Structure 1
Amino acid sequence: MKNNKKIALFGGSFDPVHTDHFNMAKACHDKLGFEEVWIIPTFLNPFKSSTKTSNEERLNLLNLIFENEDYIKIDQFEMNNQRVTTTYETVSHFKKMYPYYDFSFVIGSDNLNRLEEWNNFDELINLVNFIVFERSNNYKKEVAQKYNLPIYYFENNYLSSTKIRELEDLKLLIPKVNDYINYHLLYLDIRMKPFMDEQRYQHCLNVGEMAAKLAELNNIDPQKAKVAGTLHDITKRWSEEKQIAYLTKYEKALLGEPKPVWHSYTGAFHLKYDWLINDEEIINAVYNHTVGCEEMTTLDMIVFCADKISVERDYEDVQYYREECFKDLKTGFIKLLINQYDVAIKTHGIEAIGDKLLKTYNFYVKGDN
């Protein structure tokens, strides 16, 4: 018996999936009458040299964004092929598997610019109907006219995965997707490497790993500690002008602190307002990682210590401080704080060490509480 179920096939890298992908899929169901939308993440897009995240992470994000949409099916046909799979192969596969289904293939209008370059295009254009959503007004309208392809409209935020990887337009991203990306530290090489040298980048990774180890011993979420540790120096290599601009915008009084610690505060602001990290414990741990504060949380102490005992550190007695931190976090923290205070006094004099280090030292060492 025939079943002419209308299915929209929606392929792409989804690296990462974003709000416009979601809205296009929803428009297929709600406005165009498709009973189901099958999301088909690529193993590798034929026009791209690589994906930026693993198959597992892209699938996790797809499952997350579509978790409440019962008309969605996420199909791993192309991923399971472990090679570049052309749209012609994919459509042919599904038409063979489900001969009585009525398939259409979803693309954004930007795909029209190279549509005729797709493998087996002459066969493909006769094999399946295309559903074209207008992503922008800049596309080859003559291609749509030539093949009589209707252009559909949807709730368009003009997002792109490239921009999201580069921290642009995150406010238009569905929050749970952004939270997942941040919590799992996706796209770090894109988001961090352009703004620091390789040595600093490696230090950040090492601090993240050290923070996770300390967290496991102190009943703190290791991944949360890893996030805070990895991102602690995110603005370390910013220019002085940019540091000043952020401090002026978000907490001007911090300009009175020594310049070498400014990155603690600008880093926290950058993560909160640009990365849209909404976990205040992570933000505070970055904020407090250089000179601390009164009444440090366990996570604050973890990141403070991890920064100073990370695996590449080789200053005198660093192994002693590592052992102390792993024996008892608070004891190790206080010993590191005393060492930092003594070095700062010796190097810069008490007048130049800043209010925050002095308050932290007085609170934990002198007991001014």
Structure 2
Amino acid sequence: MKKVALFGGSFDPIHTDHVNIIKSCKENLKFDEVWVIPTYLNPFKHLSYSSVNQRLEMINIAIRNLNYVKVDKYEVSKTERSYTYDTICYFKNKYHDIEFTFIMGSDQLEKFEKWDHFDELIKAIDFKIFKRDDNYDKNILNKYNLKLFDFENNHLSSTEIRNLGRLNLQINEVNEYVNNNLMYLYERLESKMTQERYFHSLNVGRFALELGMLNNCNLNKVFMAGTLHDIAKEWDDKCMIDYLKKYDPSLLNEPDKVWHSYVGAFHLKHDWYINDDDVISAVYKHTVADKNMSVIDMIVFCADKLSYERNYLEIEKYRAIVKSDLELGFKELLKRQYEFAIIKNGENKIGSKLKDSYNWWIKND
């Protein structure tokens, strides 16, 4: 009789430890197959942070080289809260020629007896428990004679991943999918950004997307860079100084008002593990531009200055110019920014990068 391990969970997102448990089921526990069963909504959780399709796509990315694993959509197709007992009954009634075992992490033992129809559930199927950490309910383990198994454990959690924790241990392709789709954005930014700044960032992403369409640009890149451009804008000076010292101390010579663009680029590259040079460049250059500006760089620079919540004299004129001729609009905005900076701070305090950009694009034009 074929032996199949049922592995349920939110997988929001799936991560390295999930995959290591799956591998251990095959290599150490000798199951013939592992069926991954994403839940529509865990009964003990109030919301999911991503769509069903996104979670399914991330799971498929993570298991694509494991031919003994399949994804079953039984629970997510129900579009309601999922209960393990119902799932077990469904599989046992449908597949009489398969011996099923249910896989769970030791972190779930504390609430195990609160699971729906628990008395029937514990008799209906064998459970294998994987040790997530040393803090687990040993009484429940002993009471029901459950077996505990070790695996290659990084002690990751989906909550930690959503909050940018130890992404160096996450599955690279899944992390890339998360970044490219700007998933978990509010959760990652809410503690570091005011609501006003957050909505400005969304507006910049939206306007960058519009300009990207007009200029036949990679829409995913402009949307990412536009939305994330101000990610470090409201960090305190000490944190920004630490980043600049670590990655490029020469930038400390630039005015502190523009530090956030450089720090934001470093943060996205080294903490979010965004490896797209076009996105990083656009964030880096969005404040005072640069002598070398790609179309994506120009788009994000302009979208920041013209986002839809902004309202200053002649802004509609600048928006119209940028939409009809991106480079001309970029130059107009750069010239405006330079002139305002001179008036506000004086020529000696505007920073070398803004001067270089102005001299290259405006003065020498």
Q: Same fold (TM over 0.5)?
A: yes
| Counterpart for residue 106 of structure 1 | 103
Equivalences for residues 201-216 of structure 1 within 5 A? 201-216=198-213
| Counterpart for residue 246 of structure 2 | 249
Q: Number of residue pairs matched?
A: 365
2:96 and 2:42 mapped to 1: Cα distance? 26
Q: Which of the residues 315, 333, 336 maps onto 2:330?
A: 333
Q: Does 1:178 align with 2:180?
A: no
Equivalences for residues 262-273 of structure 1 within 5 A? 262-273=259-270
Equivalences for residues 33-182 of structure 1 within 5 A? 33-182=30-179
Which AA in structure 1 matches 2:95? Y
Counterpart secondary structure, 2:82 = coil
Quote how far apart the aligned CAs of 1:219 are: 2.3
Which AA in structure 2 matches 1:108? G
Alignment RMSD (CA, Å): 1.0
Which AA in structure 1 matches 2:89? S
2:328 and 2:32 mapped to 1: Cα distance? 61
Structure 1 residues not aligned, in runs of 5+ = none
Quote how far apart the aligned CAs of 1:253 are: 1.1
Q: Which of the residues 235, 240, 243 maps onto 2:237?
A: 240
Counterpart secondary structure, 2:37 = strand
Equivalences for residues 255-294 of structure 1 within 5 A? 255-294=252-291
2:284 and 2:43 mapped to 1: Cα distance? 43
1:295 and 1:146 mapped to 2: Cα distance? 67
1:131 and 1:315 mapped to 2: Cα distance? 63
Counterpart secondary structure, 1:114 = helix
Counterpart secondary structure, 1:80 = helix
Counterpart secondary structure, 2:109 = helix
1:260 and 1:108 mapped to 2: Cα distance? 47
Counterpart secondary structure, 2:175 = helix
C-alpha offsets along residues 332-354 of structure 1, whole Å, 9 cap, x if unaligned?
Answer: 10111001111111111111110
Which AA in structure 1 matches 2:29? L
1:160 and 1:57 mapped to 2: Cα distance? 18
Quote how far apart the aligned CAs of 1:367 are: 2.1
Quote how far apart the aligned CAs of 1:114 are: 1.2
Q: Which of the residues 222, 225, 228 maps onto 1:225?
A: 222
TM-score, length-scaled by structure 1: 0.97
TM-score, length-scaled by structure 2: 0.98
| Counterpart for residue 11 of structure 1 | 8
Counterpart secondary structure, 1:102 = strand
Q: Which of the residues 330, 340, 343 maps onto 1:343?
A: 340
Once superposed, which parts of structure 1, at least 4 consecutive aligned residues long, lie more than 6 Å away?
Answer: none
2:272 and 2:142 mapped to 1: Cα distance? 41
Q: Percent identity?
A: 50
Q: Does 1:32 align with 2:29?
A: yes
Counterpart secondary structure, 1:290 = coil
| Counterpart for residue 304 of structure 1 | 301
